[in-house]
Amino acid sequence: MSILLHDATVVTMDGRRPVLKGQDLLIRGGAIIGFGERVKTGRLAIDERIDCFGKIVVPGLVNTHSHLMEILQRSFRDNVRKEVWLRHRQMTEDQAQLSAEEIGAAAALACAEMLKNGVTAVVDHFSIRTGITAAKMQAILMAFEETGIRGVLAPSLRDQNFLELIGLGPSDRKTPKEGAGNLLRDEVMPVLEHVRESSKISSLMLGPSSPQNCSDSLLREVVHMAEQYDLGIHTHLLETVIERWGARRLYRKGMVERMKMLGLLSPRLSAAHCVWLDEREMDLIASSGASVIHNPASNLKLGSGIAPVIELKKRGVNVALGTDGGDTSDSYSIFEQMRLAAFLSRLTAENSDQWVTALDALRMGTINGAEAIPAWRGKIGKIKTGYRADLVILNPHIRLHPLNDVIHQLVYCEGGHSVDTVLVDGKVVVRNGRLTCVDEETLIKKIAPISEKMYRIYSLNKKRVDRSDSFIQGLYRKARGENSGQGRLQ
C-alpha cells in the first residue's frame, strides 16, 4: 500500500525551519519513504493520493501516561485529593466486577476519542482492583488493534500499601502481597510472547504501580525481566506531597535514591507525575537517562502541585506528556496538555526565557513522548524519512484563523477541532473526521450502561469514602508542614 500526501504544510519542529510549505510525503509499507518539495514516485503505483493544499501535517501526538478504563468513571468526582479519589475509584471497581469484554469496550472508546483528537500512540497503565488477568490484558490489546491506535500496555504491579506500612492506613486485603511476581510470570509473560508474534502496533512494558507500593524484591524482579526481555518500565512517581513525606519515613534517603539502588533508574524508565522531586532526585533522574511524564491537567484537578518541568529540562531530562485517566483530567487530549504545560511553566520561573515555549510543548507532545518509550524510540514522533507514518492532517478550523504562526497556534489555539485525517503505521484510521475502523455510535452505546451501573455504585458508597476526607486533609497539612521551604505551589 502506498500513499502520497501532496502539497502539505509540514511541521518538522527542526532547527531554523520547523515548518515547511508545499511538501510531498510518500508512504509505503507503513513508513515514510520520501519527503520533499517534489517527491519522485518513479514506477511506484500510488494507491491513494491525498491533496493537502491548505492543510497542516503534524506528527501524531503521543499520550505517554493514561488509564483507559477510567473512561467508565469519567467526571464522577470533583474537588477531591488523589488519595480520596483513589478510594472512590477502587470501591466502585470492587463492586462493579467488570468483565474482560467490558474492559475492552472501555479501552476502545478511549482509543477512538484519542484518534479523533490526533493522538496516535498511547501508554495504558492498566490496573483493576479485581485483578489483572491475561484475558483482561488481551481485551485492551484487542482495542488497540481494532481502533488502529499504536498502544503500549503497562500492567500495573504492586505488593504493598505504603500508608499501611507507615501505620496510617487500614490493612488492604486487595494488595496481592507475594502474588505480584506470580502475576508477572504467569499472566504478563505469555501475553508478551503473543503480542510479539502477532502485532506490529502493540507492545508491552512493565508497570510497577508506584515504587512506594512495591517491595524491593518485586522491583528487582521487574528490572531483571525488563533487561531479559528488553522492555520499558513505567511507573507513577512522587505525585503528591504525602508520597514524598511517606517515602522519607520508609526510606531514609528518599524514593529516588532507593530506585537507583534497586537498578530502576535507566533509559528504560518513564516516570509519571514527579511533582515532588527534590534537587538531588532531579539530578539522579537526569544522570540516569530516565524520562519524566508531565500530567498537568490531572495534577491540577487533584490539587497535587506543579511538576518542576523547567528544572528538569535545565538538567537535560526528556519530559513528555500524559493525560492520566478519565476522572482525573478528564479528557484524553494531548492538545490540552500541551497548552497547560506551556502556561503552567509561567508560574514556576521568574525569567521568561526559561518558560516552556509552544515549540517545546509540541515536542513534549510528540518526539519526547516517543523517546520516553523504548518500543517507540527512533520510530515515531517526527516527520522524517525512515520513520513510521503516524501522521495527523489538520484542516484548519476557525480557531486557527488567521493563521499567523503554525506552531504557536497548534499549541495555543488548536483543541483537536481541525483533525481531518489520521494515519497510524501508514493506515488511515480517521478520514474526514470520522473513524474508519470502528463505529463511534456503537462504542458509545456499549459503554453507557456499564458507566451508569458504576455511577450508581459510586453514589451509594460516596458518603462512606468521604468520611476519610478529613483524615487525608490532615495528612496533607502534616506533610506540607514538614516540607515547608522545599515545596512548590500546592
Return the C-alpha cell found at 40.
519522485
φ, ψ at 318 (rounded to 5°): -75, 115
Element (H, E) at 478: helix 469-482
- Residue with Cβ nearer Zn ion (324 or 420): 324
Q: Which stretch binds Zn ion (CB under 5 A): 151-159, 303-311, 319-327, 480-488?
A: 319-327
Q: Which stretch binds Zn ion (CB under 5 A): 114-122, 194-202, 324-332, 418-426?
A: 324-332
- Residue with Cβ nearer Zn ion (127 or 288): 127
Which amino acid type is present at position 32? I
Residue partners of 481: CB distance under 8 A and separation at least 6: none
Element (H, E) at 440: helix 440-466
Q: Which of residues 16-75 bind Zn ion (CB under 5 A)?
A: none
- Residue with Cβ nearer Zn ion (102 or 324): 324
Which amino acid type is present at position 31? A
Q: Which stretch binds Zn ion (CB under 5 A): 40-48, 320-328, 432-440, 463-471?
A: 320-328
To the nearest whole angstrom, how small is the minimum distance from the Cβ of residue 70 to Zn ion?
A: 9
The number of residues that bind Zn ion (CB under 5 A) is: 1
- Residue with Cβ nearer Zn ion (124 or 324): 324
To the nearest whole angstrom, how small is the minimum distance from the Cβ of residue 332 to Zn ion?
A: 12
Rounded to whole angstroms, how far apart are CA atoms 263 and 121? 27
- Residue with Cβ nearer Zn ion (324 or 390): 324
To the nearest whole angstrom, how small is the minimum distance from the Cβ of residue 333 to Zn ion?
A: 16
To the nearest whole angstrom, how small is the minimum distance from the Cβ of residue 124 to Zn ion?
A: 10
- Angle in degrees, 0-180, between the axes of helices 100-116 and 134-147, rounded to the nearest 10: 30
Site string for Zn ion, 275-314 (x = CB under 5 A): ----------------------------------------
Q: Which stretch binds Zn ion (CB under 5 A): 39-47, 199-207, 318-326, 417-425?
A: 318-326
**Helix, strand, coil share of the chain (percent; to 5):** 45, 20, 35
To the nearest whole angstrom, how small is the minimum distance from the Cβ of residue 125 to Zn ion?
A: 6
Rounded to whole angstroms, how far apart are CA atoms 292 and 307? 10
- Residue with Cβ nearer Zn ion (23 or 161): 161
| Strands lying side by side in the sheet with 233-237 | 233-237, 269-273, 291-294, 318-321
Return the C-alpha cell found at 105.
469496550
Rounded to whole angstroms, how far apart are CA atoms 313 and 293? 12
Alpha helices in 162-314 (DSSP H): 162-165, 179-183, 189-198, 216-229, 241-250, 255-261, 279-288, 296-301, 309-314
For residues 33 and 19, the answer to whether their CB atoms sit within 8 Å is no
For Zn ion, the nearest residue by Cβ is: 324
To the nearest whole angstrom, how small is the minimum distance from the Cβ of residue 275 to Zn ion?
A: 12
- Residue with Cβ nearer Zn ion (222 or 424): 222
Q: Which stretch binds Zn ion (CB under 5 A): 184-192, 321-329, 416-424, 454-462?
A: 321-329
To the nearest whole angstrom, how small is the minimum distance from the Cβ of residue 272 to Zn ion?
A: 5
- Residue with Cβ nearer Zn ion (304 or 451): 304
Residue from 93, 243, 324, 414 binding Zn ion (CB under 5 A): 324
To the nearest whole angstrom, how small is the minimum distance from the Cβ of residue 236 to Zn ion?
A: 5
Q: Which stretch binds Zn ion (CB under 5 A): 139-147, 210-218, 322-330, 477-485?
A: 322-330
Alpha helices in 63-202 (DSSP H): 82-96, 100-116, 134-147, 162-165, 179-183, 189-198
Rounded to whole angstroms, how far apart are CA atoms 444 and 106? 9
Rounded to whole angstroms, how far apart are CA atoms 418 and 461? 41
To the nearest whole angstrom, how small is the minimum distance from the Cβ of residue 69 to Zn ion?
A: 12
- Residue with Cβ nearer Zn ion (5 or 72): 72
Q: Which stretch binds Zn ion (CB under 5 A): 4-12, 317-325, 411-419, 464-472?
A: 317-325
To the nearest whole angstrom, how small is the minimum distance from the Cβ of residue 242 to Zn ion?
A: 16
What is the contact surface with Zn ion in residues (CB under 5 A)? Answer: 324
